[in-house]
Amino acid sequence: MNELNLLPQDKTYEQLLAAFCLPYFCYVLANMLSDVVALWMVYLIKIAIVTTVWIAYRKYYSFGKWRWRDIFISLLFTPVLLLLWAIPFYYYLSFTDSFSSQKLSLVTNGEIYWWLRTFASVILVAIFEEIFFRAYLLEYLHQSQQSDKSSIVDKCSSTLEEKPQDLSKIPLNLYSVVGTMIIFTLGHSTAEYISCVLYFTATLLIYKYLRSFAVCIWTHAFTNLGIAILVKYWGMDFLWFG
């Protein structure tokens, strides 16, 4: 089994779209409920929806090989990724005088909110962002660039009708890297843009040289756990802004 092939090769990209994109978009769109129900309930709903989608499409997902060493390797990268995320974020808010307006107040939202959001970010986000951006989108855009169509729109639309190719290396080219980075970044708040670019670049290098999708998931999970701990015990609420 080629562990670089993370997408089913008997389905087209269009047929795989719901399985790999729905968890991400359902999670994001659920934020609209924050004006109607308490924040802890929003995260409970997010967990329920994403889990339901995963169960429905469970046969579509592949995560490559999982090794115990992946956990230790990921732990080594986590402090660096935390710094790449937190430092630009901190200075952006400092220079724009935004700290005063970006208070989540765990006292107001309660302990259950912290636990639910931590669970969601460490388990759900770490998995669905990786399968959407690194498994689906990176490979889809890489294959799109190989199309003989002239315009970007035509390349993308025609590739939707194709099936994923058998991979011998990580699907990286200028088109796939820049496209995936832009979409990943736009899914976050403006204050997180620099952090997103640095984090995405660093994890892409990790993926390229270690060729392990599992390491990417573990690293993502540990980084999100580190952020949750900094929010709760170091009072760095701004890390959960956006």
pLDDT (tens digit per residue) in 152-203: 889 999 999 999 999 999 999 999 999 999 999 999 989 899 999 999 999 9
Q: Provide, rounded to the nearest whole percent, the portion of the chain with pLDDT above 90.
A: 77
* Tens-digit pLDDT profile for residues 73-104: 999 999 999 999 999 998 888 887 665 544 55
Q: Report how far residue 82's alpha carbon sits from residue 224's, in angstroms, rounded to the nearest whole number.
A: 8
Q: What does pTM read for this prediction?
A: 0.93
Q: Report how far residue 62's alpha carbon sits from residue 58's, in angstroms, rounded to the nearest whole number.
A: 9
* Tens-digit pLDDT profile for residues 12-68: 999 999 999 999 999 999 999 988 999 899 999 999 999 999 999 999 999 988 999
Residue 99: DSSP 8-state: G
Residue 122: DSSP 8-state: I
pLDDT at 110: 79
Least Cα distance to 98 among 167, 192, 175 occurs for 192
178-213 burial: b if 16+ Cβ within 10 Å, else e: ebbbeebbebeeebbebbbbbbbebbbebbeebebb
